[in-house]
Amino acid sequence: MQRHSTHSPLLSLPGAVPAEGRDEGVAAHYGDLFREQRALADGTGFVDLSHRGVVAVTGDDRLSWLHLLLTQHVSDLPVGRATEALILSANGHIEHALYLVDDGETVWAHVEPGTQAELLAYLESMKFFYRVEVADRTDDFAVVHLPAGSIAEVPEGVVVRETPHGRDLFLPRADLESFAASHGPAAGILAYEALRIEAHQPRLGAETDHRTIPHELGWIGTAVHLQKGCYRGQETVARVQNLGKPPRRLVFLHLDGSEVHLPGHGAPVRLAADGAEGRQLGFVTSSGRHHELGPIALALVKRNVPVDAPLLVGEKTAAAQEVVVEP
């Protein structure tokens, strides 16, 4: 997976500690994870998401064309209305997740770091005779997140994607440092991720693997429109919706706070009653430390795992589950 070639200039801010893995290029935190989380929860500060890919689609047919490719109904998407959508494989497995807004002339989308090249290659292959142009604008625009409740002013002319969870700004990359100077305090990606996990929001590459379907993650409703067809993978979505049940389901985990280390992505999940030698029934997809809830995680488990069963993560971390996707 390709990464953006430069690291954020905001890594030079006082206390900045670089993130690793899929969030490499921005700050993990700026010296105080819980203070940063509390600021976001209170509607202050911002999060540097400038490592995310930015894709723009222009042309008279942009909405009707995207409508044919995406899981979401976007043919008459109102100007300024945020939505999210998926691109599926022919078998209905999730390949891309797009976070969209149309400004009247251009559909702007931000995507997972490093996925924009593969996404653009697919979009280019599907243009045919439609009046559309697609472009990778990651070098020119940086995504910045303002939390819900923020009263911070948005610079004039900046495209905004507003959701119940906050506002995503498509900020000219050259303005990132001046924006930070006037919109602090900065919060790192670990604070942002902890609040994402708390909100049960799935993330491509974290909650997904090569066989994930939208029903397993609760992406039905927010990213999939069940009354539209004519997109790749739609048959699988319709079949599971009408006739079957997904093989796995997303759960939220409250982890035993006495453990020093958080379980990493892929840590096995078992029934606590079976112990560390029991059969693996799922795996951790994301974990974090929350300023109020303590250590938390999301996990994918088999659909038939009892919803009230105490779980064991890894070798010894006890976990209590909350239902995200009904079995």
Give the chain's radius of gyration (CA, Å): 20
Distance (Å, whole) CA 65 – CA 61: 6
CA 41/CA 146 separation, integer angstroms: 11
* Per-residue pLDDT at 3: 42
Angle at the Cα of 82 (from 115 to 161), degrees rounded to 5? 75
Span of 94-103, 242-251, 293-302 with lowest mean pLDDT: 242-251
More reliable by pLDDT, 5 or 77:
77
Q: 237 φ, ψ to 5°? A: -60, -50
Q: State the average pLDDT over residues 50-79.
A: 98
Mean pLDDT of 217-243: 93
DSSP state of 222: T
- Please say if the pLDDT value at position 230 is more than 90: no
d(CA 261, CA 291): 16
The pLDDT of residue 170 is 98
Encoding tokens for residue 130? 């439609």
Average pLDDT over the chain, rounded to whole?
95
Q: Which two tokens stand for residue 314?
A: 């890894």
For 62, the 3-state DSSP assignment is helix
pLDDT tens string 165-215: 999 999 999 999 999 999 989 999 999 999 999 999 999 999 999 999 999
- How many percent of the chain have pLDDT more than 90? 94
> Mean pLDDT throughout 301-308?
96
What is the phi/psi pair of residue 215, to 5°? -60, -30
Asked if residue 5 has pLDDT above 60, the reply is no
Whether the Cβ atoms of residue 90 and residue 233 lie closer than 8 Å to each other = yes
**Taking 70 as the threshold, does the pLDDT of residue 53 lie above it?**
yes
Q: Would you place residue 62 in the very low, low, confident or very high pLDDT band (cuts 50, 70, 90)?
A: very high
The amino acid at 318: A
CA distance 309 to 312: 10
Q: What is the pLDDT of residue 258?
A: 81
Q: What is the DSSP string of 59-103?
A: STTHHHHHHHHSSS--TTPPTT--EEEEEE-TTS-EEEEEEEEE-
* SS3 state of residue 23: helix
CA 109 to chain centre: 12
Q: Is 109 left (phi over 0), alpha (psi -120 to 50) or beta?
A: beta
pTM of the model: 0.95
Determine the Cα–Cα distance for residues 240 and 235; give it in Å rounded to an integer.
Answer: 9
pLDDT beyond 50 at 293: yes
Q: Is the pLDDT of residue 1 over 80?
A: no
Q: What pLDDT score was predicted for residue 2?
A: 41
Tell me if residue 261 falls in helix, strand or coil.
coil
Burial 227-249 (b: 16+ CB within 10 A, else e): ebeebbbbebbeebeeeeebebb
What pLDDT score was predicted for residue 245? 86
Instruction: Report the pLDDT value the prediction gives residue 109, as an integer from 0 to 100.
Output: 98
- What confidence tier does 4 reach under pLDDT thresholds 50, 70, 90? very low
